[in-house]
Amino acid sequence: MQSTELRSELQSQVAELNTLRSLPLNLASTPQKTGSKSGTGEVHGLVMKLVQKEKQVVQLQAEVERLRGQNPTAESREAEERLRRERDRLKWNKLSEEVADLKTKVGTPGP
């Protein structure tokens, strides 16, 4: 349980770091040219929204990967179907051979 919490926290911090790195340098490090606090506050709010969205993206990507792991793909289903058909074919061949052997032992002519 703790490892999943730590992994989630790590993903959250990576998302935040990636978002901050993607911001232009002048936007992230210096206040607006007007020098007003509201401009800086707006930038901070925008950064926080971007960080939150990035966290959501990371969480959704993790959820998609988890669901992909749970649901077999079409390729794996096809492979399982081929294996099943091959096993069935081998069973039928073995049964046919056994029937032919028993007919020769009994002495009845085959088809």
For position 108, what pLDDT does the model report?
64
For position 35, what pLDDT does the model report?
52
Q: pLDDT averaged over the chain?
A: 80
Q: pLDDT class for 83, splitting at 50, 70, 90?
A: very high
43 shares its domain with 1:
yes
| 3-class SS shares of the chain: helix, strand, coil, % to 5 | 85, 0, 15
For position 88, what pLDDT does the model report?
96
Total domains present in the chain: 2
> pLDDT by residue (tens digit) across 15-55?
777 777 777 766 545 554 555 556 777 888 888 888 888 88
Average pLDDT over residues 63-67: 86
Is the pLDDT confidence value at 86 over 90? yes
84 shares its domain with 66:
no
| Distance of alpha carbon 111 from alpha carbon 108, whole angstroms | 10
67 shares its domain with 77:
no
Give the closest residue to 16 by CA, choosing from 26, 5, 28: 28
44 shares its domain with 91:
no
27 shares its domain with 66:
yes
Q: Which residues form the domain of 63?
A: 1-71
Average pLDDT over residues 60-87: 86
51 shares its domain with 24:
yes
- Other residues' Cβ atoms within 10 Å of the Cβ of residue 15: 21
61 shares its domain with 87:
no
pTM score, whole prediction:
0.40
For position 77, what pLDDT does the model report?
83
55 shares its domain with 87:
no
